[in-house]
Structure 1
Amino acid sequence: MAFHEISFPLRLSLTTRGGPERLTDVVSLTNGREARNRRFRHARRRYDVGSALRSVADLYAVLDFFEARAGRLHGFRFRDPVDFSSAPWGLNISPLDQRLGIGDGETASFRLVKVYGDPAAVEERPISKPVTGSVRVALDGVEQMAGFSVDAASGVVTFLAGHVPSEGVEIRAGFQFDVPVRFDTERIEIDLDAFRAGRIPSIPLIEVIP
């Protein structure tokens, strides 16, 4: 098993259906109350790219991609059509979008994250597949044009020697990102007559930890 640092065709991902899934165990108690426990620390995303196919050429593009990944064997990058940026929907990326941490004068590496929430609760999502060249970093509100590197395969920002954030310095970043996924099927059933008649095959994807 491996992860291929290659993206599912962007023109197809933009019209895909899907989104985050939570898995919560709910037990009804004898007093009428519920006991609830979540199984996953973070949401897991599912998509169906079959809904994006508009032509036979699209179908063959997905087939080619499916074969190159050996079906479910290898993971790949996928652009969520809605949630792909550190910035709020409709706004441009800013180096102040997301808080990565506070410097201590020694720690040089910080993982990219995206925070979701409201006054009642906050959830922090690790971002492991930033888009190359999209990451902008700020220290105490000042954008840094150099002095750091970004591992696009892990989502870790590392400050170079002489640029490690001092104690108390706030590290923030803005970026675009992909979702690491794999195919969640061992077969793609093709019926060209049905496809031309508007019947779309189901081609599910599921998020993975690369």
Structure 2
Amino acid sequence: MAFHQVRFPDDISRGARGGPERRTQIVELASGDEERNASWANSRRRYDVAYGIRRADDLAAAVAFFEARNGRLYGFRFKDWADYKSSAPSQTPAATDQVIGTGDGTTTDFQLVKAYASGAQSWNRAITKPVAGTVRVAIDGTEQATGWSIDTTTGLVTFATAPANGAAITAGFEFDVPVRFDTDTLDVTLDIERLGSITSIPLLEIRR
């Protein structure tokens, strides 16, 4: 996958709009009842970052970033300010935030995940772009300062020694969303004072 490990400018992404998208097929029966089927097992996020452009410098930065990614060709990191950490928005990520696996005495690699739960239902989201320097890991509730490493390009935690059988592996972290531009054209409007604006700059989450 063609991907640049660079983050879209935070000053612009802070004003973006967007969020998760699901794909559901709904069939209305002759009786008026419905049958619903999920076409996607996982959600996909869409954003529009044009709302974050407030100054001419922001516009120039967005255009430069677009050109450097060759439009839709290269993916990149994006900070979703509404959902970028393993903890609640008001809290600091802790090593016990998210369960990422259970030790079996053999496995050394564990994928970072974030659980979204409501009532008895939950969905686990694979986190593939953790932010360097923010990941914390614990085994059975005890934070591990050493003995593990994190691949910030995949979200894979690797232990030097496999955790013991039955040990709970948890982690806390901040993360970015892997996205790409969902257009090969930027429609820039310049007013009489040479202040520019763009109607829409759509981004689409990249799923493997």
Classify the TM-score, shorter chain: over 0.9
SS of 2:130 mapped into structure 1: coil
How many residues align? The count is 208
TM-score, normalisation: structure 2: 0.96
Structure 1 residue 207 corresponds to structure 2 residue 205? yes
- The whole-number CA distance in structure 1 between the counterparts of 2:179 and 2:171 is 24
Q: What is the CA-CA distance between 1:199 and the residue it aligns to? A: 5.7
Distance 1:97 1:64, change over 3 A: same
Cα RMSD for the two superposed structures: 1.6
- The whole-number CA distance in structure 1 between the counterparts of 2:69 and 2:151 is 23
Structure 1 residue 155 corresponds to structure 2 residue 135? no
SS of 2:87 mapped into structure 1: coil
Counterpart in the other structure of 2:188: 190
Q: What is the CA-CA distance between 1:165 and the residue it aligns to? A: 0.4
Note if contact 2:112-2:128 (Cα within 8 Å) is conserved in structure 1.
yes
Counterpart in the other structure of 2:4: 4
Note if contact 2:84-2:174 (Cα within 8 Å) is conserved in structure 1.
yes
Note if contact 2:101-2:110 (Cα within 8 Å) is conserved in structure 1.
yes
Q: What is the CA-CA distance between 1:81 and the residue it aligns to? A: 1.2
* 1:70-81 correspondence to structure 2 within 5 Å: 70-81=70-81
Task: Give 5+ residue unaligned stretches, structure 1.
Answer: none
Any idea what the Cα deviations from partners look like across 1:72-129, whole Å, max 9, x if unmatched?
Answer: 0000000001100000120111100000011000000000000001223101000000
Distance 1:196 1:47, change over 3 A: farther
User: Which stretches of structure 1, 4 residues or longer, exceed 4 Å deviation after superposition?
Assistant: 194-200
Distance 1:194 1:101, change over 3 A: farther
- The whole-number CA distance in structure 2 between the counterparts of 1:100 and 1:106 is 15
SS of 2:58 mapped into structure 1: helix
Distance 1:143 1:192, change over 3 A: same
Any idea what the Cα deviations from partners look like across 1:19-59, whole Å, max 9, x if unmatched?
Answer: 11111111111222111111111110000010000011100
Counterpart in the other structure of 1:66: 66
Counterpart in the other structure of 2:170: 172
